[in-house]
Amino acid sequence: MAQHTARHRIGILGAGNIFGRYVEGLRTFPELDVIRVADVDTARAERAAAEYAIPAWGGPDELLADDAVEIVINITPPAFHAKTVIAALEAGKHVYVEKPLAATVEEAREVLDAAERSGKLLGSAPDTFLGSAVQTARHAIDTGLIGEPVGATAFVRSSRSETWHPDPRAFYGPGGGPVLDMGPYYLAALVNCLGPVRQVSAATRVGAKTRKVTSPERVVDEITVEVPTHASAVLTFASGAIGTTLMSFDVWDTELPRMEIYGTEGTLSLPNPNGFDGDVRVKRHHDDEWEVLTPVTALFGAVNTPEQHRRGLGVHDLAGALHGGPHRADARFAFHTLEVLTAFETAQRENRVVAIESNCERPQPRTAH
């Protein structure tokens, strides 16, 4: 991967479950230097700083007041994204925020306005579409390997968060649920490959209304579900392609693929878009067998190892944009995916096809080998 020569000093806001994944991923880029961690629970921030040898720690206000911090990575719960992103932008920081960009479209618009006023860069997860898997699929489509894209399927199954996360309430509260928790990975991959979405029709419901938490280090024994946990939708892309999606925390066992894209001359099969890498397979109409495509970019981490859980490629993307490079995982792209995903519930509630107002460019592909 190309490296930037200038060093960028980073503060991470939030020391929760994915904090370590970010630190480990960022340390693969020598020019990205994590110098501070902050959390509303300062004791947790102190423990995180000690575990990862980060020199400074404290509360959110201390992070925002630290002139040495140039980029803030915001990994707070979704319900707090808008408030904390705006505060960081107003403090003069560039910001990269975990998905979703905000808990609602209305809050996301406020975030975009704040970014424009500040003149700072705002990036947002998911960034997994920058990995070798989706980039390889994008290259296959752009070079005509499967002909003209006609349709796609995307199937989100339960991450079973209540079995491994100590406090999975955010997964079942505002800004969560399968559509806003896992859906962004799938939709970002689809928009990167097929372009923006024009309209959405959908049906949603709640499965089990309460969930038992069985993770060994749990802090709650049971949670109440506040958002739909099972959703089916049809997406019509501006290109004319049609996507069929199932996003559910009630599907624990299935033989469905993760994602497939169908063209006039063949089919692409993609791995879990929650990871950066994995086999992309193609089968053209005249082929007898599936073929695994050679990745067009370097792997971010070795497949089927703990490296697959690392995060940070989107932060590297933002840092490159500070030097004039393309900003692929930018806020406009994230806003479009958020508007599409929140349209699922609007379509259900109002029993109509929802027209998507926002638009975005397909992000520039990453440089191939």
Model-wide pTM > 0.85? yes
Helices 19-26 and 313-321 meet at what angle, rounded to 10?
Answer: 50
AA identity, residue 2: A
Identify the CA nearest to 89 among candidates 69, 106, 59: 69
Identify the CA nearest to 201 among candidates 360, 346, 339, 333: 346
Q: pLDDT, tens digit, for every residue of 128-161?
A: 999 999 999 999 999 999 999 999 999 999 999 9
- Tokens 């559910």 locate to 248
Give me the residues paired with residue 235 across strands.
Answer: 200, 243
User: What is the model's pLDDT at position 2?
Assistant: 45
Neighbours of 93 (CB within 10 A): 26
Summarize the confidence of residues 283-298 as an average pLDDT: 97
User: What is the model's pLDDT at position 170?
Assistant: 87
Angle, vertex CA 334, rays to CA 156 and CA 116, nearest 5? 165
Q: pLDDT, tens digit, for every residue of 91-110?
A: 999 999 999 999 899 999 99
Residue 157 is encoded by which pair of tokens?
Answer: 């199954």
Residue 103 · residue 75 · CB < 8 Å: no
